[in-house]
Amino acid sequence: MKKVLLSMMVLCASCVSIFAQESTNVSYNDAKETYGYMNPIVSGVPSMSISPDAVAGGMGDVGVATNSDMNSQYWNSSKYAQNESSAGFAFSYTPWLRKLGVNDINLLYLAGYYTPSKMAGTISASLRFFQLGEVLLRESADAIPLSANPYEMTFDLGYSRMLTENFSLGIVMRLVASDLTAKTDPNYYTGYAFGADVNGFYSLPIEMAAGTSRFNFGFNISNIGTRITYDKGDNYNFIPANLRLGVGYQLPFDQYNRLLISLEANKMMVPSRYSKIAKYNPDFDASNMDTWAMTTEEYNKISSMEGLIMSWYDAPGGFAEEMAEINWGIGLEYAYNEQFFGRLGYNNEAKDKGNRKYFTVGAGFKLSAFKLDVGYVIATSASNPLDQTLRFSLAFDIDGIKALADK
């Protein structure tokens, strides 16, 4: 069953695998260059790292410092406090890993917000459900298969409000549930965890001859919380804590046309199983790369807060490898009359950390109270399972719906 759980987690993480090579009297950097050693950061509930909506999905998966929309709960919930509309919600659908011929893995996402008044602040919520399809489990080749329908789900509530004229702050509390079993093994259970986000958004209007431009800055420290276990504490996994920073600039060309450009960097704050910390293990052997790996016992002893701190200094390659753990993306959005949208983006992950590199394209159409968006992934690295991923989002502006009803 442990092998089954591990395989499902790896599938969710886009089929990234960790491996090590044995060598004789060789350093980490030499082994990395000689053998192509990889050390991606792997967490529990990896579906939490999948961007759910088509707007960001068309802009290189950046969203912490872009303009606020109905899906801001995932990227930066504090942006809701700066919305002009008092309420709205959106539904997103992503058929996942179609490049691999899988037809029953899907990500569903529902998000919304309500602002009673600027003084009261904004309440927001979201629900995401990652369905892994039907999986047949066998203890041996001749055993009768057991059917399982694993899933990963999160539900969260957020609150945000304006602190100054241009700056808003938000917090989110999150419940995580992950069921990767067939519910037939008495030793394995549905895993639960709790997490929290703290985020902020600064948007400064700048008057120009062509109109009002905007400079945006956003940050989000997400999924800070407990670890998750499927066997009542014998083994633990970290949920994907993440630090995301971004800037954006909206440039108007005239009263109808404008361009938004956004740059973003994010780092997983999860300790690495292949870590220089293992060098202090009494069993460490410099001639065997396998000893760079922490044992299960070592990994289980790391608390959530210790893991956050270790994630900044535990890479075997030192500072250079820590910097390689920072993913970056760039996104562009062109809008005509805030009704027609065209998007383009690029997202980059270091080769040693998973090598997910891809372009994205997207489009959107807004009509009064309704908005439809589509995003599409075009991978640039070989055998990228994210290639040809398609996202759909449908958003509803409650104030716009009321205006239509009053006509």
Count CA within 13 A, CB hemisphere, residue 204. Answer: 7
Among 131, 129, 128, which residue's Cα sits nearest to residue 102? 131
Which pLDDT belongs to residue 306?
94
Q: Which residues pair with 193 in a beta bridge?
A: 176
| R_g (Cα) of the chain, nearest Å | 22
Instruction: Look at the block and give the residue holding tokens 């969260």.
Output: 156
Label residues 242-271 b or e (16+ Cβ within 10 Å = b).
Answer: bbbbbbbebebeeeeebebbbbbebbbbbb
| Domains in the chain with CATH codes | 2-406 (2.40.160.40)
405 phi, psi to nearest 5 deg: -65, -30
Which pLDDT belongs to residue 13?
41
Residue 11: band (very low, low, confident or very high) from pLDDT cuts 50, 70, 90: very low
For the entire predicted model, the pTM comes to: 0.86
312 phi, psi to nearest 5 deg: -95, -5
387 phi, psi to nearest 5 deg: -55, 135
Count CA within 13 A, CB hemisphere, residue 180. Answer: 24
pLDDT digits (tens, 9 = 90+) for 309-362: 999 998 888 888 899 999 999 999 999 999 999 999 999 999 888 888 999 999
Dihedral (CA of 311, 193, 57, 123) sign: negative
Average pLDDT, the chain: 85
Q: How far is Cα 165 from Cα 235, in angstroms, rounded to an integer?
A: 47
Q: How far is Cα 239 from Cα 242, in angstroms, rounded to an integer?
A: 9
Which pLDDT belongs to residue 122?
97
